[in-house]
Structure 1
Amino acid sequence: MEKIQYDLIVIGSGAAGMIASIVAARSGKRVLLCEQQSKLGPKLKATGGGKCNLTNTLTNEDFMNSFGKNGRFMQDALEKFDYKSLIEFLNTIGVETHIPDGFRVFPVSHSSETIINALENEILKQNIEVKKETKIVDILCENEKILGVKSQIANYYSTCVIVATGGLGFSSLGANGDGYKFAKSLGHKITELYPAMLPLITKESWVSNCRADTIAKAQIRVDLKKAKKLKACGDLIFTSKGLRGPVILDFSREITPLLEKYKEVPLIINMIKGLNEDELFLYIKEYSLKHNDANIKEVLEHLLPFSVLNELCKLVGADYNKRFKDLEGTIRQNLIKILVSTPLTIVDHIGFEKAMITRGGVSLKEINPKTMQSKIIEGLYFCGEVMDLDGPCGGYNLQWSFASGNLAGELLN
């Protein structure tokens, strides 16, 4: 059998893998794209609930800061391919985008299918060879140089391989951690892996009675001595077992590592628009002066959904049908306190099966940020979520996948 030599082999057909393939092929390189699923872009299809929030309009500096201490690693990739470059690239392959809220960028169709179809069409146009339902089981390497890859049925040869396999999140869509196995087998360090961007489970069961309501701009902080600086603000939703909503999806990146270490993570939540105890007491006093007969429910219904108020009143023994001034002094104080600083305890999460992203990955110390090439193995490249970089909701992670994939795809240019 003829031994076919490719200029590049890409493992994984997410956003990073597809754009890397296209960028390399546009420069005349012979590219093989391998995907273990029957369709390309399986996880991309689920991005943003299928609406596909592609990126956002932050400056590169603010964008990198949103990723925390590792964010600076993205500088070279973003300088070559920021959100404006992504919009322009998508336009070249027939995808029209818009920014309905002035911040988040979507395809006009608000459908991830639009993005996947456009990328597939460009892959076809660039004569990229695609092998679906092809599971790569090993990367061939000799004397610290890449030779190709090994699938379950054949070997494919190239001196350049890009690992764009993603993380462990959404295992139902094919995520299995193969990229970490490949990297580790070739001498790379893998940092601790945690599920991120997922709902959290609380010890307290009363949250199940509040599922119909969303708390806007809830303020959350971790009540642990060594994690006092961890705070977040955003929309909060109660579930039958705990918490979700944008603020929880973002904050879960910080919670899951703490949960593994401490087993329980106490939170303090302000659900009343950030008012402190003095401000809340003044609000109640002024409202009660204007509406002398108003009970607690009527006074507070503009600050908090009744389902939540009802549960908090139960916790401190307050009758919401009474006027605030008619409560016992201790009960008044306890009600004020729990309204301002509601305690909840995170005891678990729903795992990688439903996690949108993975926190952790291939150590950035062993990857050249100017090329995405391994510092250990010649011809080995990484892009996207497989690396130790994860950001919040809002197009951050998808922009990083496209930017890093673009940079990796330039490897032979």
Structure 2
Amino acid sequence: MTKQLANRVFIIGGGAAGITAAIAARRNNAEVTILERNERIGRKILATGNGRCNLTNSNIHVNHYHGQNPKFVYGALNRFDYRQTIDFFEHLGIAHKIEEGGKVFPVSNQASSVLDVLRYELEQIGVKVICEADVCAVKNIKNTFEIVLKDKRKFKADRVILTTGGKSSPNLGSNGSGYILAQSLGHNIIKPFPALVRIQLAEKFLKQIQGVKFDGEAEIIVDNKSLARAGGEILFTQNGISGPPILQLSRTAGEYLQKKKKVWLKVTLITGLTAEQLEQVLINRFQNQPQKTLAFSFVGFINKRLIPVLLKEAGIENINKPAAEVTAGERQRIINILQDWRFEVTGTDSWPASQVTAGGVDVKDINPKTMESKLVPNLYFAGEILDIDGDCGGFNLQWAWSSGYVAGESAAQGD
């Protein structure tokens, strides 16, 4: 006897999580349809990893995830882990390589190749994809869902998976519409805010030093407590600061700004030296050529464009006096700036510049092992729409693959 298709599974949102959910559901014998608001699926995948697609990371751990309950990720990550993700893509044709920090990329270095094989798989296994399908309502009527589009088209579904993403990168299709659908079905939304984004500062001298890069460290300070720290290449911008360490810290900064806290950014320009060692370095520079101006004595030690700003910040009015005339107090203030330069954080860049959304559907109402709603049977969630976000380095895509696969498999099987 021919086995009847288990469920009509409709997936709203054709990003990384939605596509993976569709493949998993179809492989488990469901009749699967993706409804995508844009003219094509997977647009955001093309932008990941600077166009190379940072597939995942070999160092997957809950410490790389954030939200009101980061441990929620264990459910999906344990059912579809890093190794299974690699095998999944190898089967589709994506050979992989591991780079610095455990970052995993396709050998092709092309995000387009990842999307190509995913789309090919959808076609091969018979997933229906409907683009330019802007969902405006999902109604739960007698154990069946009615999905309504803005153009008045309607669909019936046994199971629905919401994978609409967040609000980041709206140019790639994310507009937060999934939150409205989730709320209409009774789910609470943790207020979203941009993450993995540049941090804004108030200092007027930023225009003087925009474009200056340095290898250093940065910390987020709230109530005189260090809450997060990261190191690497840091870049001053016209209205703030950027670079991989800053993007990592922006999530913490945004979270506490949401709480109306005063947030400070501590920047360390010179790392690897104690204050005593740094003082000896400066004494040597000043004594070796005492006739040099104070400002010129720093040439070759820090970026030239930083020198006048840094010395003024240290409270030194005459930056062109002979280095021999620098007092011990002035020297100490310079050291303080080099190793503990404080800036008040005024905000972060907005949604168009952010890589990921923090906040989203409250996970307390989601089963972590199946991604099914605890409030509405046969409704599932996956990916960025949930109040889970990861660090840079492939962690967000791993969450999309894992949560998507688990949601798709669960929706098809009805477990």
2:279/2:331 contact within 8 Å kept = no
Would the alpha carbon gap of residues 280 and 296 (structure 1) be closer, same or farther in structure 2, given more than 3 Å must change?
A: farther
Q: 2:232 is matched by which residue type in structure 1?
A: G
Report the AA paired with residue 333 of structure 2.
N
- Per-residue deviation, 1:126: 0.9
1:214 maps to 213
Deviations 1:229-255 (A, max 9, x none): 333333211111111111111111011
CA contact (8 A) 1:33 1:129 kept: yes
Contact in 2 for aligned 1:269/1:341 (Cα 8 Å): yes
Counterparts of 1:12-161 in structure 2 under 5 Å? 12-58=13-59, 60=60, 63-68=61-66, 70-101=69-100, 103-142=102-141, 145-152=143-150, 153-161=152-160
Q: How does 1:324-335 map to 2 (within 5 A)?
A: 324-335=323-334
- SS of aligned partner of 2:191: coil
Q: Structure 1 residues 148, 92: CA separation in 2 closer, same or farther (over 3 Å shift)?
A: farther
Counterpart of 2:308 (choices 307, 310, 334) is 310
Contact residue 218 and residue 274 of structure 1 kept, 8 A: no
Shift of residue 287 of structure 1? Answer: 4.9
- Unaligned runs of 5+ residues in structure 2 are none
Aligned match for 1:285, one of 283, 287, 308:
283
Of 322-331 and 172-181, deviating more is 322-331
* Contact 1:9-1:162 at 8 Å conserved across structures: yes
Separation (CA, whole Å) in 2 of partners of 1:310 and 1:134: 56
Q: Distance in 2 between matches of 1:294 and 1:8?
A: 74
Give, in whole Å, the separation in 1 of the partners of 2:137 and 2:154.
9
Shift of the 240–127 alpha-carbon distance from structure 1 to 2, 3 Å rule, reads same
| Counterpart-to-counterpart distance in 2, 1:325 and 1:252 | 41
Deviation at 1:304, TM superposition (A): 2.6
Q: Distance in 1 between matches of 2:253 and 2:162?
A: 28
Report the count of equivalent residues. Answer: 405
The superposition leaves residues 306-337 of structure 1 with CA deviations (integer Å, 9 ceiling, x where unpaired) of: 22233101332265555544213433232222
Query: CA deviation digits over 1:104-163, x for unaligned, max 9?
Result: 1011222211111111111111111110000111112035x4424111231111110000
Which residue is 2:338 aligned to? 339
Post-superposition offset of 1:205:
2.3
TM-score, normalised relative to structure 2: 0.90
**3-state SS of paired residue (1:228):** strand
**Which stretch of structure 1 is more off in the superposition, 309-318 or 26-35?**
309-318
Distance 2:140 2:145 in 1: 5
Q: Where in structure 2 are the equivalents of 1:372-387 lying within 5 Å?
A: 372-387=371-386
Percent identical across equivalent pairs? 31
8 Å CA contact 2:25–2:408 kept in 1: the answer is: yes
Deviation at residue 343 of structure 1 after TM alignment: 1.7
Q: In the alignment, what sits opposite 1:254?
A: 252
Q: CA RMSD in A?
A: 2.3
TM-score (norm 1): 0.91
Unaligned runs of 5+ in 1: none
Give how far 1:267 is off: 1.9
